Amino acid sequence: MSENGNGLPRRRAAISDLGEALRLLVEHATATEAPTEEILRAAERIRQAAAPLGDRVRGRFDTASADDLLGGVRLYNPVTGTGSAFAPPLKIHREGDVAIGVCTLGRAFEGPPSFAHGGVSAMLLDQILGYAVTVSGHPGMTVQLDTGYRAPVPLYTPLRLTASVTAVDGRRITATGTITTADEPTMLLVEATGVFVALRAEQAQRLFGPVIGRSG
Ligand X SMILES: CCCCCCCCCCCC(=O)SCCNC(=O)CCNC(=O)[C@H](O)C(C)(C)COP(=O)(O)OP(=O)(O)OC[C@H]1O[C@@H](n2cnc3c(N)ncnc32)[C@H](O)[C@@H]1OP(=O)(O)O
- Contact residues: ligand X, CB under 6 A: 72, 126-127, 130-131, 134-135, 141-144, 170-172, 195, 197, 199, 203
CB of 172 to ligand X, least distance (A): 5
Sheet holding 98-103, edge to edge: 91-95, 98-103, 159-169, 172-181, 190-197, 141-149
Whole-angstrom Cα distance, residue 149 to residue 118? 8
CB of 185 to ligand X, least distance (A): 23
CB of 174 to ligand X, least distance (A): 8
Specify the residue, 19 or 155, whose C-beta has the smaller distance to ligand X: 19
Specify the residue, 155 or 195, whose C-beta has the smaller distance to ligand X: 195
**Closest residue by beta carbon to ligand X:** 130
CB of 159 to ligand X, least distance (A): 18
Specify the residue, 138 or 172, whose C-beta has the smaller distance to ligand X: 172
Can you tell me whether residue 46 is helix, strand or coil?
helix
Whole-angstrom Cα distance, residue 132 to residue 92? 10
Whole-angstrom Cα distance, residue 53 to residue 59? 14
Position 214, amino acid = R
